[in-house]
Amino acid sequence: MRALRLPAWKSEPELVEVPDPEPGPGQVVIKVGGAGACHSDLHLMRDFTGGLPWAPPFTLGHENAGWVHAVGDGVTGLEPGTAVAVYGPWGCGVCERCRLGVETYCENPAGAPVPAGGGGLGLDGGMAEFMLVPDARFLVPLPDGLDPVAAAPLTDAALTPYHAVRRSWAKLPPGSTAVVIGAGGLGHLAVQILKATTAARVIVVDTREQARESALRHGADHAVAPGERAAGEIREATGGRGADVIIDCVGAQETLALAGAVARMLGDLTIVGIAGGALPVTFGSPPYEVSVQSTYWGTRPELSEVLDLAARGLIRAEVTTFPLDQAVEAYHRLENGELTGRAVIVPN
């Protein structure tokens, strides 16, 4: 089969011929229906030189959906042809965190298929005709009304901001404000998740006009261009109080500075983007009792909740599809800021 592989850190991915995967006991091979192109893949191609518990070569694509193709011994309840989404962070399955479905924060990395990674992040991902999923528990049958192209981005571009928003629900009652910085793949879904699950007013910040317009189309109440006046504009829009919750889907020096400047006392400032910025924390800044946290992806139960929101039409990934032989082009368009929503590679 054909697969888009990252051969080494700091390299361009290559479309190459590889053997078809075969399922071992407990495993499942899916025929890939959609594989989202995440900005994290650009960080893998451009920024990382190691420092992770896993390394290339591997097939890219960590947000995937498709159809059950072949099941290994002992797998029951997944008929070939069933449409499924792949839960991407693969933990050990038995530690305390994994038993609660929080496989992102598995505490037994030696028992996981790849420590703190998954398919497309150390093991082979979905930018190929077929993908090996090492345990049937990582597959969620798609609810009616969702196909693999629509579902693929939900497994990361929606699941990640969903987890970040969900943990801040208590801070988002009527009258509150949430700010989403970066309205790309994750951000345009963060806006919809906030609208569907909270009563907060939603303000987006993005450098690109087309991303701000996309966010407004998807329900944002207000869009702001970054720059000297951005913090003042956000403070003004909140009656001077600031934002109760800020989800920074960029994570650069300047976006974290903006987040710290607009946070409301007692608020949440959540770092989701991995652009490598730092936020100084002193007694007076960010404002009193602002909680700062980073979040990684989401939990297994949360993926079912995200799929339910989408099946009921409450959130929807805006998708541009590309065949597998144009996946590199899709990444270039993502890198050049020429896309809105998510690029999804359709290998079959």
The single residue among 252, 290, 292, 327 that binds ligand NAD, judged by CB under 6 A, is 252
Residue 108 near which of ligand NAD, Zn ion, none (CB within 5-8 Å, type-dependent) = Zn ion
Would you count residue 160 as binding ligand NAD (CB under 6 A)? yes
Interaction of residue 274 with ligand NAD, rule CB under 6 A: yes
In this structure, are residues 196 and 314 in contact, taking their beta carbons and an 8 Å threshold?
Answer: yes
Smallest gap from Cβ 255 to ligand NAD, in A, equals: 5
CA distance 71 to 28: 4
Smallest separation, CB 89 to ligand NAD (Å):
9
Rounded Cα gap, residues 226 and 183, in angstroms: 12
Whole-angstrom Cα distance, residue 93 to residue 186? 27
Q: Which residue from 237, 236, 224, 235 is spatially nearest to 260, judged by alpha carbons?
A: 235
Task: Collect all residues with Cβ–Cβ distance below 8 Å to 217 and sequence separation of at least 6.
Answer: none
Distance CA 38, CA 161 (A): 13
Indicate the residue among 74 and 227 with the shorter CB distance to ligand NAD. Answer: 227
Stretch that binds ligand NAD, among 7-15, 26-34, 267-275, 285-293 (CB under 6 A): 267-275
Do β-strands 14-17 and 2-6 pair in parallel, antiparallel, or remain unpaired? antiparallel
Strands 201-205 and 222-224: parallel
Give the 3-state secondary structure of residue 174: coil
Residue 98 near which of ligand NAD, Zn ion, none (CB within 5-8 Å, type-dependent): Zn ion
| One residue of 249, 269, 319, 330 binding ligand NAD per CB under 6 A | 249
Q: Does residue 256 belong to the site contacting ligand NAD (CB under 6 A)?
A: no
Site residues, Zn ion (CB under 5 A): 38, 40, 91-92, 95, 98, 106, 108, 156
Q: Which region among 129-137, 168-176, 231-239, 291-299 touches ligand NAD (by CB under 6 A)? A: 291-299
| Least separation in angstroms between CB 249 and ligand NAD | 5
Task: In whole angstroms, give the CA distance from residue 338 to residue 326.
Answer: 15
Q: Which of 334, 344, 345, 346 binds ligand NAD (CB under 6 A)?
A: 334
- 127 lies in the binding site for ligand NAD (CB under 6 A): no
H or E stretch covering 148: helix 148-151
